[in-house]
Amino acid sequence: MTDATSYAAAASARLDRLWKRGREFLGTRTAVMGGAMSWVSERHLVSAISNAGGFGVLACGSMAPDQLAVEIAGTRALTDKPFGVNLINMHPALDQLIDVCREQRVGHVVVAGGLPSSATLRRIKDGGAKAMAFAPTLTAGRRLAKHGADALVIEGTEAGGHIGPVSTTVLAQEILPELREVPVFVAGGVGRGETILSYLELGAAGVQVGTRFVCATECVAHPNFKQAFIRASARDAQPSVQIDPRFPVIPVRALANEASKRFMEFQRDVIARVDSGVMSRDEGMLEIEHFWAGALRRAVIEGDVENGSLMAGQSVGLVTREQPVADILAELIAQAESALARRAMDEASLTGVGSLMAEPPVGAL
Ligand SMILES: Cc1cc2nc3c(=O)[nH]c(=O)nc-3n(C[C@H](O)[C@H](O)[C@H](O)COP(=O)(O)O)c2cc1C
């Protein structure tokens, strides 16, 4: 074995050890979760991620229970590898959707869109699945773990879709070194393997990636949607802006387009009508809430990239072409492993003997 190949083998073994907890939790070869994306994460992308060694997660979004059952069965037909289902906490049929996951023996259920109650977590776990939830703070993470969450996702403001206010790096530093009770997966702005490595070294069990999988060859998103991602740079992925605190807007990160411009004018117009007494505040709030109804589907499925919602994270700047899922995952892993190998070689050349790796490369030192 040459020095280079033994360093590479040691780097690969080191990476396996670093995300062992995440891999064991998910039952996968890599601890990379494909973040559920409404309309995007359906059977084709999810099965492709799982078949390539990651962990695909079906987006249930606003699906009815019978639609979810069909989508789970459709995904099973395309992969025999583990995958999960993402449910939205405030979905009116949440309990029935959990029951579908139980009947279909889904291994992992991820609850998004707010903190799930202990009863929800119990319902998931009683059916034999592992329950995952999003932790916005260390305290909330601790409480979720105590109330039965088997693993957590922390998602920074760089992410695509609905976002919190805190950056991934700060959330990770606040939570990862402290919260060891359950595996924690880091999401938001993860676009290269070196970044994955840095979060693993801070204590993450794995990562969740959304934006980078949108332009996967296997993804059914409309070619216009993919082209918008390929053309965009990080600064084009902007959070929606609330212009009046009386009319709250849940921040969503998406590529700026005609619809996002119109949303500002629309808010101004609704607020003026409320202020002049033409409509009530509740009616105004409802109008603002409804502005984006159906907009993600319009962009992802119909390809209307000007009037639809182009939800995307800042890592969109790292999306440069359409690629098969297996290539995206291989690229991320190669970047993490070469960073580890480079570090060990640098260390060895500095000290003459040492290595930053926990174990010296087989046969090399
Ligand atoms: C188009 C799009 C749709 C999304 N839809 C959902 C969703 O339905 N449920 C959810 O929990 N997260 C959703 N997300 C967030 C992703 O699951 C993931 O956590 C996020 O994309 C990770 O950050 P990244 O975009 O920087 O990789 C969505 C993200 C995008 C880009």
Average pLDDT over residues 304-319: 98
Closest CA to 83 of 123, 47, 111, 44: 47
pLDDT of residue 353: 56
- Ligand 1 site, residue 37, Cβ cutoff 6 A: yes
Residue-wise DSSP of 160-194: SEE--SS-HHHHHHHHTTT--SS-EEEESS--SHH
Quote the ligand 1 centre to 48 CA distance (angstroms): 17
Distance 84 CA to ligand 1 centre (A): 14
SS3 for 66-102, per residue?
Answer: HHHHHHHHHHHHHCCCCEEEEEECCCCCHHHHHHHHH
**Every domain range in the chain assigned CATH 3.20.20.70:** 3-213+324-341
357's tokens: 């790796």
Is 161 close to ligand 1, i.e. is its CB under 6 Å away? yes
Sheet containing strand 237-239, strands side by side: 161-162, 252-255, 237-239
The fold for domain 3-213+324-341 equals: TIM Barrel (3.20.20)
Express each pLDDT in 39-95 by its tens digit.
999 999 999 999 999 999 999 988 999 999 999 999 999 999 999 999 999 999 999
Say how many Å lie between the CA of residue 111 and the centre of ligand 1: 13
For 123-162, the three-class secondary structure string (H helix, E strand, C coil) is HHHHCCCEEEEECCCHHHHHHHHHCCCCEEEEECCCCCEE
168 lines ligand 1 (CB under 6 A): no
Q: Is 315 in the pocket of ligand 1 (CB under 6 A)?
A: yes
**pLDDT surpasses 70 at 365:** no
Ligand 1 atom 5: the closest Cα is on which residue?
A: 37
Q: Is there an atom of ligand 1 within 6 Å of 209 CB?
A: yes
- Mutation probe of ligand 1 site: the residue of 63, 155, 211, 297 with most atoms within 8 A of C-beta: 211
Q: Radius of gyration (Cα) for the chain, nearest Å?
A: 22
Identify the residue whose C-alpha is closest to ligand 1 atom 20: 210
Three-state DSSP class for residue 322: coil
| DSSP class per residue in 243-312 | S-TTS----EEEE--HHHHHHHHHHHHHHHHHHTTSS-HHHHHHHHHHTTTTHHHHHHTT--TTTS--B-
Instruction: Give me the residue label for tokens 């996967």.
Output: 216
| Model confidence pLDDT, tens digit, residues 153-183 | 999 999 999 999 999 999 999 999 999 999 9
Residue 132 has pLDDT above 60, yes or no: yes
Confirm if 201 and 304 have CB atoms less than 8 A apart.
no
The answer, yes or no, to whether any atom of ligand 1 lies below 6 A from the CB of 36, is yes
User: Is the C-beta atom of 361 inside 6 A of ligand 1?
Assistant: no
Say if CB 104 and CB 72 are below 8 A apart. yes
Contact between 239 and 252 (Cβ < 8 Å): yes
**Residue 162 φ/ψ, nearest 5 degrees:** -70, 135
What confidence score (pLDDT) does residue 356 get?
A: 47
Per-residue pLDDT, 61: 86
